[in-house]
């Protein structure tokens, strides 16, 4: 990175460490340490702790909220504009839908010379009403016009930028997500998995099905819980379910498990910092999302050599080819997910083959070190071109 990039700001909404937030933290941790790195966030939490541990500083803007609220949103816009004007950032890099729009508008008003936004899946294609879709589309259109570059994780989102937001090609970058291949790797052959499972308070002699993600509507954990309950209709499948994450749906999921009498076999672990270790101890990974950008959770599971079963949606299809490096099932189709689980639980050689193919893909295409170097090059290009 050239000396001209002195101050870099990443803007996030929530201080969690789910997929979108992990993208910011991975980049903040690996950007040139000679630059000043700053995270702006709604409040403090595991994300801000991770940012500070990496040497970045944190600015809290409590006015940022997820829901559309005109008064609060105007206050957030003013606060961000004042922050960006005061801090004189060279780069403001935004994430998330609504926060990304407000942040880009504030950065443009503050005269920030390099404004970049990463699309983690557009909200408006998944809108449930025409009015909602029009509002979300208008917001993204405004945000796009305030961006020097919009980073898309795959071609489908780049096509939306071109066709629906009318953004010219020179302002669109396609840059896939990456993971730390040294952290997310398969379990070594000499490791005692049974002992490690006991240490992690997981059953040693049962197969483990795992999901990592926020327990809310987008990730659709209810589909997985229902599929797991259906597995038991033919008797004990010899597998437990492990859910890593938390969210608004946790209570309803726990109730469904209780009604099925499966509480001893479903493990709600909450948010964890030892996800790589937990992934290595499991046998199958599932992500039944309704929509995605490019989920780190899938990449991390593939990096650990796990066979994956994921919903057949654009963000997932760019990572998983059915029967080549994982299995796809129609979104919301619980019975298809159940069938895929049976197929993998009963076929060890298929699990090994799909897991190895997944690991090979992330090694070839999704190294976080390469992604961060490419992002730094993008910043330099924008700054050298004056926008």
**DSSP characters over 95-116:** -SHHHHHHHHHHHHHTT-SEEE
The predicted structure's pLDDT at residue 126: 65
3-state secondary structure string across 35-73: CEEEEEECCCCHHHHHHHHCCCEEEECCCCCCCCCHHHH
- The beta strand positions in 176-288, using DSSP E, are 207-212, 239-244, 266-270, 284-287
Rounded to an integer, what distance in angstroms lies between the CA atom of residue 220 and that of residue 225? 9
Same domain, 105 and 206: no
DSSP secondary structure letter of residue 219: T
The predicted structure's pLDDT at residue 96: 87
Same domain, 125 and 236: no
Within a domain: 374: yes
The predicted structure's pLDDT at residue 387: 64
Same domain, 235 and 148: no
Within a domain: 186: no
The predicted structure's pLDDT at residue 293: 84
Within a domain: 185: no
The predicted structure's pLDDT at residue 66: 87
Which structural domain range is residue 113 located in?
A: 7-178+367-385
Q: What is the pLDDT of residues 144-180, one digit of tens each?
A: 999 999 999 999 999 999 999 999 999 999 999 999 9
- The beta strand positions in 120-206, using DSSP E, are 149-152, 172-174
Same domain, 321 and 380: no
Residues 309/286, Cβ–Cβ less than 8 Å: yes
What is the pTM (predicted TM-score) of this model?
0.87
Number of folded domains that form the chain: 2
Same domain, 99 and 130: yes
Residues 94/106, Cβ–Cβ less than 8 Å: no
Torsional sign, CA 81, 86, 90, 92: negative
Cβ atoms within 10 Å, residue 67: 7
Alpha-carbon distances of 25 from 48, 123, 166, rounded to whole Å: 9, 22, 30
Same domain, 215 and 167: no
pLDDT by residue, tens only, the chain of 387 residues: 444 578 999 999 999 887 788 889 999 999 988 899 999 999 999 999 999 999 999 999 999 998 888 999 999 999 999 999 999 999 999 998 899 999 999 999 999 999 999 998 887 766 778 888 898 899 999 999 999 999 999 999 999 999 999 999 999 999 999 999 999 999 998 899 999 999 999 999 999 999 999 999 999 999 999 999 999 999 999 999 999 999 999 999 999 999 999 999 999 999 998 999 999 999 999 999 998 889 999 999 999 999 999 999 988 999 999 999 999 999 999 999 999 999 999 999 999 999 999 999 999 999 999 999 999 999 999 999 876
């Amino acid at each position: 990175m050239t000396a001209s990039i002195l101050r870099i700001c990443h803007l996030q909404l929530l201080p969690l460490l789910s997929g979108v937030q992990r993208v910011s933290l991975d980049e903040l941790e690996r950007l040139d340490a000679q630059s000043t790195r700053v995270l702006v966030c709604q409040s403090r939490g595991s994300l801000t702790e991770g940012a500070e541990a990496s040497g970045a500083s944190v600015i809290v803007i409590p006015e940022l909220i997820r829901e559309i609220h005109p008064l609060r949103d105007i206050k957030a816009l003013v606060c961000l504009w004042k922050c960006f004007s005061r801090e004189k950032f060279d780069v403001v890099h935004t994430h998330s839908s609504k926060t990304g729009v407000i942040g880009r508008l504030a950065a443009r008003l503050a005269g920030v010379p390099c404004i970049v936004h990463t699309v983690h899946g557009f909200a408006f294609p998944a809108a449930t009403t025409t009015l909602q879709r029009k509002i979300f589309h208008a917001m993204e259109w405004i945000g796009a016009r305030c961006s020097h570059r919009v980073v898309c994780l795959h071609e489908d989102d780049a096509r939306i930028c071109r066709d629906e937001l009318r953004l010219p090609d020179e302002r669109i970058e396609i840059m896939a997500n990456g993971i730390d291949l040294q952290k997310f790797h398969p379990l070594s052959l000499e490791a005692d998995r049974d002992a490690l499972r006991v240490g992690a308070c997981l059953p040693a002699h049962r197969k483990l099905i795992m999901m990592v993600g926020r327990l809310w509507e987008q990730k659709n954990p209810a589909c997985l819980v229902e599929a797991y309950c259906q597995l038991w209709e033919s008797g004990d499948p010899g597998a437990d379910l492990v859910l890593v994450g938390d969210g608004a749906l946790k209570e309803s999921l726990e109730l469904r498990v209780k009604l099925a009498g499966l509480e001893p076999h479903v493990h709600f672990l909450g948010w964890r910092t030892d996800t790589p270790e937990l992934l290595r101890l499991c046998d199958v990974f599932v992500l039944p999302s309704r929509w995605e950008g490019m989920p780190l959770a899938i990449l991390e599971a593939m990096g650990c050599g796990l066979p994956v079963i994921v919903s057949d949606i654009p963000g997932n299809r760019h990572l998983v080819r059915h029967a080549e490096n994982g299995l796809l099932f129609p979104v919301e189709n619980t019975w298809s997910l159940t069938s895929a689980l049976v197929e993998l639980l009963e076929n060890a050689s298929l699990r090994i083959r799909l897991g190895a193919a997944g690991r090979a893909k992330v090694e070839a295409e999704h190294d976080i070190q390469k992604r961060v170097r490419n992002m730094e090059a993008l910043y330099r290009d924008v700054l050298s071109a004056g926008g």
